[in-house]
Amino acid sequence: MNSIWIGWAGFHPEDFSEKQDELKSKLSDQNLFPIFLEKDDVEQFYEGFSNTTLWPLFHYFPKYTSCHEEQWEVYKKVNQTFCDEILKHANEDDFIWIHDYHLLLLPGLLREKLPKAKIAFFQHIPFPSYEIFRILPWREEILKGIIGADLIGFHTNDDVKHFLTSVQRILGLENKMGVIRSEDRLFKVDAFPLGIDYDKFQELALAKTTERQVGLYRKQFHDVKLILSIDRLDYSKGIPERLKAFDYFLEKNPEFREKVSLLMIVVPSREKVQLYKNLKTEIDELVGNITSKYRTVNWNPVLYFYRAYPLQSLSAFYNLCDVALITPLRDGMNLVCKEYVASRHDGTGSLILSEMAGAAKELSEAIIINPYNIQESAEAIKTALCLPFDEQKRRISDMQLLLKKYDVINWTTVFLNSLEEIKQKQAEMAMK
């Protein structure tokens, strides 16, 4: 497919030695078309409306949600900037695929200019229940923006159900099996659980460099079992709750001290947002408390890394660790748990997974927990560490079969087929 990518560059051209035009021309050779935003707009649009209004509300944290008219204005302006840039490249019969909560108004803006184009939207984060969504002062404008798309996708059936309820209660539009008629237009809403590049994670796991790295680490930790957690720094990921559960586990099960460590990678994210700064401090303190309480000369209960790693190192960690502990308080899908399972080339390993992650709907062979229940999580850690090898292998093998079948290529194919179907239905309706 001859496709191009349009997106926010993520940096300011004045921070680069190259001139904006030179940069643009180099990127366009790779079919990449950057949008440069003013520093102030980034603050209001990205750190502001996207990440202090939409992100917390959609993850069920109304108490962290702030609503500022100025930020909403900039959000609208930036969505319009995206629309203008797309219109420079797109034709009436092109397929335009819009991703995520930063661009909720874009489908509607584009529909006005390109009434016949194929426009699809996929949201990577949850869509909250109507009772939460209705809090948003701009709920109606937001919904009208999204429904400019022909196909609207979410990770889970629950997200679809919540979205359809909001569309019905706020816009008064009824659906039949996810298909809605609005004035003279049909559009469809459905669940498309995102898969991963399964083969890539298997290949990485088997690569010589990965095996060497795993071998080196194993020597260092020989008889200590390792529990892995990897997330971006985010309050939705349940990192403090996870640390509290690990603390409780060590307190109640002293026989496991010096025999197990939590290897916790936290990837820096949205560091300019105050809540994220506070969260970092809270995590640092919790790690400090656990360390000072249980640490011995030869053993460290928490191996904590606040940084990003190359993918190959992630693969080594996925293969090194006996257990993955993935406990978000709310997560659209969560890919880390899928990558852990896909990377286990020897078929062993235990996955503890929060019921609040979209992935829990698919990975039913994981040990499923409620991340707010510290005692249950601590119990699950013990169960995972004691799971017999044949039981580990049975569970991992079942989950690997599922992840291989429903990989990212399958996801794209199913999504595009669904878009064709709704376009077909629209054409049939136009003939009547």
| Contact between residue 256 and residue 385 where contact means Cβ atoms under 8 Å apart | yes
> Does 332 contact ligand GDG by CB under 6 A?
yes
> Rounded to the nearest 5°, which phi and psi values hold at 255?
-65, -15
Residue from 159, 190, 247, 331 touching ligand GDG (CB under 6 A): that is: 331
> Does 314 contact ligand GDG by CB under 6 A?
yes
Q: Rounded to an integer, what distance in angstroms lies between the CA atom of residue 71 and that of residue 50?
A: 9
Residue from 125, 320, 356, 369 touching ligand GDG (CB under 6 A): that is: 125
Catalytic pick among 159, 234, 331, 407: 331
DSSP assignment of 305-357 equals EES---HHHHHHHHHH-SEEEE--SSBS--SHHHHHHHH-TTS--EEEEETTB
Return the amino acid letter for 115. Answer: P
Count Cβ neighbours within 10 Å for each residue of 327-342 and write b for 16 or more, e otherwise: bbbbbbbbbbbbbbbb
Nearer to ligand GDG, 338 or 395 (CB): 338
DSSP assignment of 76-87 equals HHHHHHHHHHHH
Q: Rounded to an integer, what distance in angstroms lies between the CA atom of residue 409 and that of residue 97?
A: 15
Q: Rounded to an integer, what distance in angstroms lies between the CA atom of residue 263 and that of residue 242?
A: 12
| Contact between residue 278 and residue 234 where contact means Cβ atoms under 8 Å apart | no
Q: Is 304 left (phi over 0), alpha (psi -120 to 50) or beta?
A: beta
- Shortest separation between residue 426's beta carbon and ligand GDG, angstroms: 27
- Shortest separation between residue 311's beta carbon and ligand GDG, angstroms: 4
> Does 408 contact ligand GDG by CB under 6 A?
no
Alpha carbon dihedral 374, 379, 380, 385, in 10-degree steps, equals 130
DSSP annotation of 299: B
Residue from 109, 167, 335, 396 touching ligand GDG (CB under 6 A): that is: 335
Active site residue 124: yes
User: Per-residue x/- marks for ligand GDG, 57-86, CB under 6 A?
Assistant: ------------------------------
Q: Which of the stretches 31-39, 221-229, 302-310, 417-425 binds ligand GDG when contact is defined by CB under 6 A?
A: 302-310
> Does 159 contact ligand GDG by CB under 6 A?
no
> Does 336 contact ligand GDG by CB under 6 A?
yes
E strand residue ranges, 100-159: 118-122, 151-154
> Does 339 contact ligand GDG by CB under 6 A?
yes
Catalytic pick among 94, 124, 197, 398: 124
> Does 267 contact ligand GDG by CB under 6 A?
yes
> Does 323 contact ligand GDG by CB under 6 A?
no
Active site residue 331: yes
| Contact between residue 321 and residue 216 where contact means Cβ atoms under 8 Å apart | no
Residue from 98, 230, 366, 399 touching ligand GDG (CB under 6 A): that is: 230
> Does 200 contact ligand GDG by CB under 6 A?
no
Instruction: Please give the C-alpha separations between residue 126 and each of 155, 156, 226, in angstroms, as whole numbers.
Output: 8, 8, 30
Nearer to ligand GDG, 290 or 314 (CB): 314
> Does 308 contact ligand GDG by CB under 6 A?
yes
Q: Is 189 left (phi over 0), alpha (psi -120 to 50) or beta?
A: beta
Q: Rounded to an integer, what distance in angstroms lies between the CA atom of residue 219 and that of residue 31?
A: 45
Q: Rounded to an integer, what distance in angstroms lies between the CA atom of residue 293 and that of residue 290?
A: 5
Residue from 232, 280, 404, 425 touching ligand GDG (CB under 6 A): that is: 232
- Shortest separation between residue 125's beta carbon and ligand GDG, angstroms: 5
Total residues contacting ligand GDG (rule CB under 6 A)? 18
Nearer to ligand GDG, 74 or 194 (CB): 194
> Does 194 contact ligand GDG by CB under 6 A?
yes
Q: Which of the stretches 27-35, 135-143, 325-333, 378-386 binds ligand GDG when contact is defined by CB under 6 A?
A: 325-333
Residue from 104, 151, 329, 333 touching ligand GDG (CB under 6 A): that is: 333
> Which residues are near ligand GDG by CB under 6 A?
124-125, 194, 230, 232, 267, 308-311, 314, 331-336, 339
Catalytic residues: 124, 331
